[in-house]
Amino acid sequence: MTNVGFPAYAGVMGVGIEVLIVDWPQVEAAAPGDREELLIDAAFEEAYSDDVFEHGWSWPAQPGHAWYGRYAFRNTLGSYKPHFWAGHRWDHMRDFVEPKLRDCLDRFNDALFWHRLEDTTGVGSGLPDQPCTWDADLLLWCPPDHIAMIAGWWQQAEPSLETLREPFTRHAADSSGWITTFESFADLLTDWGKVVTEAERRGWGIVGLRC
């Protein structure tokens, strides 16, 4: 597993997530006790404009700081809840999805945000277990050597996203919580796809800071 464990639903009220792609050796070159502060500074200082929830990428402005990028997911306000709800919706619809696409998205979703459901479905990413070795409060710790496989699952799934509309509408749509429409579900998956694609292009990893 590449994650360090998103909280169970009972514990997500008020939990936020800041997603960064990072040059792994640059972070690991810092002293172990300094890595959390390094990541926090990257997520919460000069990397983005006054609108912290503006959708998309923001990059450091200071020379010599080009070792990370921050991604703001659309319509999430920095909250973890939409990621939880996307996993919840997927759990309700996945049995009605074409098997090849279901397999790709089971693995893609599990690697990034759909955790703790493997016990009931028997399905997970299948990625090697690499426990987080950084002393930091992270919701996601995804080393570079996992990124190419995750990006491959996304490349296979992305062209078929529209085929998920019918199973989502019939089996997962609900006015309660977050991710209430197919469009919001597809947007969140697409945003994760952009994060993974850019990390893979650069040879970087992905972290999600709890905030």
Nearest CA among 144, 120, 150 for reference residue 207: 144
Contact 126, 107 (CB under 8 A): yes
Structural domain tally of the chain?
Answer: 1
Nearest CA among 121, 100, 125, 132 for reference residue 111: 125
Res 8: pLDDT: 46
Q: Is 116 inside any structural domain?
A: yes
Q: Is 3 inside any structural domain?
A: no
Tokens of 12: 């997500």
Q: Is 74 inside any structural domain?
A: yes
Q: Is 1 inside any structural domain?
A: no
Which range marks the domain in which residue 17 is found?
9-210
Residue stretches of the chain with pLDDT short of 50 = 1, 7-12, 47
d(CA 148, CA 188): 20
Q: Is 133 inside any structural domain?
A: yes
| CA contacts within 13 A on the Cβ side of 141 | 19
Q: For residue 97, give the 3-state DSSP assignment.
A: coil
Q: Is 42 inside any structural domain?
A: yes
Res 94: pLDDT: 95
Q: Is 186 inside any structural domain?
A: yes
Would you give the DSSP letter of residue 205?
E
Q: Is 4 inside any structural domain?
A: no
